[in-house]
Amino acid sequence: MADAHSVTVESWRPSLGSLVVLAAIFVAGLFLVGFDQGHLFSLVQGEVAFDQSLLHELTHDMRHVTGFPCH
């Protein structure tokens, strides 16, 4: 005689809010790595951040490898 076991399979779907937060993090990261020329640090440092461009220098090699515009 066969045993009668039941298996419950729950489907999981991410909430819309978590997808929106994840998309915002992705877009912010994409901007900071690919296009920031001192914009983020200019909020704190002012105009000198555009001359230093610290995030650009930090991610410079990765920009070239991934084909982002650089110089």
Residue ranges that bind Zn ion, judged by CB under 5 A: 70-71
**Distance of closest approach, residue 53 Cβ to Zn ion, in angstroms:** 11
Q: Write down the least CB distance from residue 39 to Zn ion, Å.
A: 17
Closer residue to Zn ion, CB minimum distance, 5 or 71 = 71
Residue closer to Zn ion (CB basis): 42 or 53: 53
Close Cβ partners of 48 (under 8 Å, ≥ 6 residues apart) = none
Residue where the block lists tokens 């039941």: 6
Give me the residue label for tokens 């020329």.
Answer: 37
Query: Which one, 19 or 61, has the nearer CB to Zn ion?
Result: 61
* 3-class SS shares of the chain: helix, strand, coil, % to 5: 60, 0, 40
